[in-house]
Structure formats: C-alpha cells, structure tokens
Structure 1
C-alpha cells in the first residue's frame, strides 16, 4: 500500500456516496448580520452530509478531505468525485458528552511519509482524558487505512466527567513543533496549576516530547510541555500568516475569547473572565495589572466558538489574514480582523445552524461543517 495521493480511484466498492449533486443554498440559511451589508458576500453550496462531524483537513496539494466524526469514524472524501471512504485503523474512543474522535491534521512531512495526527478521548486510570496519536494514511484496492498508530501525548491527569477536552492541534509554521490545546475538564482550578496539563496549551516535538525552550522546561515532567496556561476550553488553535498563534476559547456564561497565545502567559481562568459563572456566580473581569493575559476579543452573550481558521487565500481578497470562528450556540460564522497582535470584531454571518469546524480549501474557498443534527459540509465562494 502507498500513501494516499490525490484521488481515490479504485475504491468504489468501499465508498459511501456523497449527497446526490451539489445543492446550491445561496441565501437559504438566513440573512447576514453584517452591519453595512444586507446580502450574503458569499454563495453557500452544500456538498455532503455527515452524522456527527467534528473536524476536517485537506491533504497537501490535494482537494481530498479528511473528516472526523465524534463517534469514532474517519472519512476520506475524494475532492473530484465527492465519494467518501471510511478509513480503518482508527483508535478506540470514548464517546460521551463532548468526548470522542476529535481533530485531524496531515503531518508536516506528509508528502514523504503519509503521517497524519489525530486526537481523541480515551479511558484510563482516574477516568478519561484526551490523547494524540499519529499513523500512516495509506490507500489501495481494499480501501483506506491508518497503519502503525502510536499514541504520542496524553492529557494529564485523567479525571471524571465528559467535558472540556479541547484537543485541537496545530503545527508551528516551520513544521518543527506540535501545539495541542488541553481543556480544564470542567475542573476550573487545575488551569492555574502548572503541575498538570489541564487548562493549558502544550508545545511538543513531532514525536510528542516536551519541546526544548518551553517556558517551564527546567521544571521537568509534564510542566515542561506547557506553553501557556489559565485556559478553560480552547476549541480553536491556528497560526496566522505572520507566525502568531491564536486560540478561540469558550467562556462560562459569556466571556468567550479569542486569545493571542504567547509563551509563559497565564490567561486567567478561573480567576479572571469577562463572563460569569453558571448560576450567577461572579468572576472578576480581566483588568490591567491583574497579572493575566486579557483576550484580544471577547463575546458576551456567548457565541460558543467551536473552531478557528485564519484565512490565507486570496479568493476572498478583503479577508486575507482574518480569523474565522465557527459559533455553536451562536449558530454563525464570525469574522475577526487581525492586525499583528490586535483583533477587531468585524462581521457575524447568522447561518441558523451550529458551526463545528471551519477550514480553508486549496483554492481559497471556505468550508464549514455543521454540528450533529444538521451535519452538512458547506463550501463558501464569493457571491
């Protein structure tokens, strides 16, 4: 078997077909709420439907698309035909609450070795926790498969409950490091304890070891993995073209955040938040001089950002370098103008469905995955 390349010819027997034809949906999802615009700036086309999608990633130099479903299925979708195959060899996952199969990314050396990286929720001593692994993606006449899957990182410690795993993945622009977002597991205070990796963003080598030069490298153990801490539930993680790292993060009641992620910074959770605790408990707002890194942008009421993409293409030429957040409870696509370390809220496109993932296609089109219940895969191009 060889690493998968561009098309998936010869796999028709294993294919789950896409929807019958692309269905134009321009304007059908509801009006854009952009302040100075009364029409969609894009055409929306439905290209597929899935049961419980969570993440997607295009293969390098290809229109072929990897899509995860939270229930444990990994799909490989042919960019030319729209046909899908189910990839075998995926890890055993714990499907409960927010847990299941999570993110997927082709590795920096994918063209040479076919390696892809995945995150998921597993069970172990003390409860459940996120894990990250890598495997070779191969295809042949018998289908598509992950081979030689190995776990390279585990969220520490495992705990009870089934929320706030986060487990989003991002590679550094130079391809030397892997960043992983690790939620607070709804525990709160561990996010202020750098003796564990809950409520943190970690920076690893591609083999999963603590990256040299991390802020707490001298402390050893899991502390040496940590890049930043004081996070709640960071479900988006992406580098901008200028190399800055950004994270979208769910707050409690209000106080959702877009953060510029910097080495050694403490983002305050649960000691500071622009939102309130559930049930009305007050949390001090971020304030100058409080010792915590304040968000670059925040939202109250909540929009529940479930993903983040920084646009690099030129198909939407006015949006190059901007951040796009998929909003779950907000049922919208949210655009934020990025300028260096500054973030300015720009537009909210009310789609009327929970948006789980946002990705940029090879041609600069914007792709969206709706959450379970709708599950549509949508392609956005200029109107």
Structure 2
C-alpha cells in the first residue's frame, strides 16, 4: 500500500495527498474490467480472423502500460502546464488528423488511422481531450476580456476538427466532438443569439449528414423503423442483454460474441450483460457516474474559469461517449461505432481516454480547489 507522510513535500507525495484517490481507483477498476471483458469477448473474434485466441487481450494489456503512465504523468501537472500541453497536443493531432485522408489506413471502409499494425493511431480519438483544453482556454479568455474573439476561435477549431473527421467518415465522433463543445459553451454562458446559431447549426448538420451520407441515413432509418433494413446487430444485442438476466450466464458462456463482429468494441456492453448480468452493468454504470459526479463536485468549488470549462469538457466528452455506446447497445440511439471508454478494445481509445482523465485529475486536485498555489 502506498503511504506518504503529510510532511513529505516531494512531488509524488504532494500529488498523492491532493489527487482524488477515489476517482483514480474507479478509473483503474474500469481499466481492469476492460481487460477482463476483452478476455471474455475477443477470443471468438480472434478465431474468426485467424489470429491467436488471446491476440486482442495481449494487445490491450500492452496498451494499459502507456495509458496509466500518461494518466498519472498528466495528473501531476499544474493548470498552466495543462494549458500548454493541451495546446501542443491539439496542434500535433490536428496535423495528424489532416494527414489521415492522404496517408491514412483504411479499415472497414473508413480511413481513420495513421500507421499500420501495432503502431497505428486514431488521431480523432487523441484530439478530443486536447480540443477540450483549447476551447476552455479560448472561452475563459473571451469571458475575462469580454470579447467575441474567443468564441470565434472555438467555432473555427470546431469546424476544422469536425470537417476533417467527416471526411474519414466518422459521424459518431463528429457528433461527440460537437456535443462536447456545446457543453463547454453552455457552461461558459453563451449569448442567446449564439445559442440560436449553435442549435441551428446542429440541426443543419444532422440533416446534412442524413441527406448526404448514405450510411448515416441507413442507421437513422433502421433506428426509427427496424423493418427498413438489416437490424441484426441491435436485435442480437438486445437478445443477449435479455438472456443475461440478473447475474448472467457466466464468464465465457455468452453467445453474442460468436455472432457479432464488433463484440469486443462497439457491443462489449452486451457481452457484459449476457455473461455477468444486469448487476455487473449497473456496477459499471455506477463507476462511470462516480467519476463524472466527483469531478463535477470538485469543479463546482473552483474559481478558475479555465479549470471549470476544461473539466466540464473533459468529463462531458467521457460521459457522452459512455452514454452513446451503452445507448446503442440497448437501442436508445442509432449505431455509431463508438467504443465504451476504458472498457472496449482499442489502444487509441484507451490511451486517449487516459490522457483526458489524467488532465481531469490534475485540474481537480485539492490543492487547486483550496487555492494553496503549491
């Protein structure tokens, strides 16, 4: 067990006494749950593609190491350092995001990755937490200086990011980035005129996606009326959840992973429900809710507007992603291809989520809330 004396003034000791250790524990438990559920859901997928049985499990376990290092390392930063890292990270991954249509790797009809094999990165995953920091910085500056330039900069950043993501195409990620931005500008107190413009833009974007992107129109149509197309994935997901009951069929005894190609990513919540039951799902949801609620509770004691806006965005992005993934599994939303943060298989998703949570832990450390300045 890690222990430090209260009088210890080392960097690690001060971090230990000021970081939200309950949130840190919940994050680590979700990462561990992700390994267990990947071990349960992925062997059938690996066997279908001719890979070793635990191919995805080993890969996910390897990515846990840089994810935890990144999370803890970023949680050591001050708000000023978080701003600097956020700006640099946004610039780096915006460039990589712009390179995806040119030099990206195409998988299942979408060009979303840079590189190949074990070194492939999904820039759209990584840019989200840094986008939150840049938007928070610009909005805080706009409020303090009482000008619209900061608002305009956030709109430019938003349009640039979602424009590149739409080209991949990835409509689910586009809506997630736009939703995160909406959370931040709402917290910042957006003028009513701009609220109307934002809402109009959201409606126009949704209508445009429906009219111009066939796969988006198909998913929305199947969500509204399953008889209009192939609803096999959702039907199978709902059946698995029902079959799981309260305590599940037992580890490894589920059937959904053998018939759904994305059981270890998009529909890992269904695997959880079938093999471990509704109780396990409720525990998982409670862990997600605990992270978000504790973060917002600490944020509400904060006087630094940048910290308030950054935490709102980071936790908003984390919560929206989890809600979208689980909502798809229970047919509350159209299918989006969104992973369940910290749980689903995917190195980019795991490391990027850990980066966002690391910055959240840094910004909600008790020493900043109490204003000690150390």
TM-score with structure 2 setting the length: 0.29
Q: Which one has a bigger Cα radius of gyration?
A: 2
RCO greater where, 1 or 2, for CA within 8 Å and sep 6 or more?
2
TM-score with structure 1 setting the length: 0.29
Greater share of strand residues, 1 or 2?
Answer: 1
